[in-house]
A and B are shown apart, each in its own frame.
Chain A
Amino acid sequence: AQSVSQHNHHVILSEAASLELGCNYSYGGTVNLFWYVQYPGQHLQLLLKYFSGDPLVKGIKGFEAEFIKSKFSFNLRKPSVQWSDTAEYFCAVSSYSGGGADGLTFGKGTHLIIQP
């Protein structure tokens, strides 16, 4: 079974600081990787995804993530955070089996607070 581990449950940063949220997964086969964001009071939205190709993927709102296969990692980065980035961030993985994708497995989430 696949699993996802997010390293930090709570992160507090000041505006303009750089951000890196860690995500590691355990699964030996082909995976699709995702980062979702949940702003206060809202539903989850997709930030970015990796299916194949360039391991450095760029998403919305200046976020990017790098897939490092050898480390089973998919860390989320942003060079300069804003107060509006305050939210819960979820890393997720889906595996391929039998020609189709299975349900998503989520990490426990990282609560990011940006201080003005």
Chain B
Amino acid sequence: DADVTQTPRNRITKTGKRIMLECSQTKGHDRMYWYRQDPGLGLRLIYYSFDVKDINKGEISDGYSVSRQAQAKFSLSLESAIPNQTALYFCATSDSLTGSRAFFGQGTRLTVV
């Protein structure tokens, strides 16, 4: 089983709809991250969480919200999806005690039409 699991893997949604992307991990890591990948732009950090009570905005948080339901779960929400949020979204985890190597999920391809 994958250490970092994202659901769904693919999603097509309409403009204005609310959508939630979920991430769960079995690594036991305290830190979790949401990134989006766009062609030519690499990965950009949306939100990150250092523990259950800690949520931080990343580089491009506008239009997104997150919830850290438990140490192992970190969900990303688009309250009202728009077409320029079409992208590949990655969840990642890292362990603050052993360094900042990140483990990534397999990605969620989101298309907003």
Contacts and interface: CB of A to CB of B under 8 A. Distances in A.
Interface of A: 6, 9, 32, 34, 42-46, 49, 51, 90, 92, 94, 100-109
The SS class assigned to the B binding surface is strand
B42 A90 contact: yes
Contacts, number: 54
A104 B42 contact: no
Contacts of B33: 103-104
A108 B42 contact: yes
A51 B42 contact: no
B100 A104 contact: yes
B29 to A, nearest CB: 12
21 contacts: A32-B99, A32-B100, A32-B101, A34-B101, A43-B104, A43-B105, A43-B106, A44-B43, A44-B104, A46-B101, A46-B102, A92-B43, A100-B50, A100-B96, A101-B96, A101-B100, A102-B48, A103-B33, A103-B45, A104-B102, A108-B40
A49 B106 contact: no
A106 B101 CA distance: 13
B42 A49 contact: no
B94 A101 contact: yes
Nearest to B107: A43
A34 B33 CA distance: 16
Interface of B: 33, 35, 40-45, 48, 50, 58, 90, 92, 94, 96, 99-102, 104-107
A21 to B, nearest CB: 13
Contacts of B43: 44, 90, 92, 104, 106
B45 A104 contact: yes
Nearest to B47: A103
A51 B101 CA distance: 10
A44 B100 contact: no
Contacts of B50: 100
Contacts of A92: 43
Contacts of A103: 33, 45, 48, 58
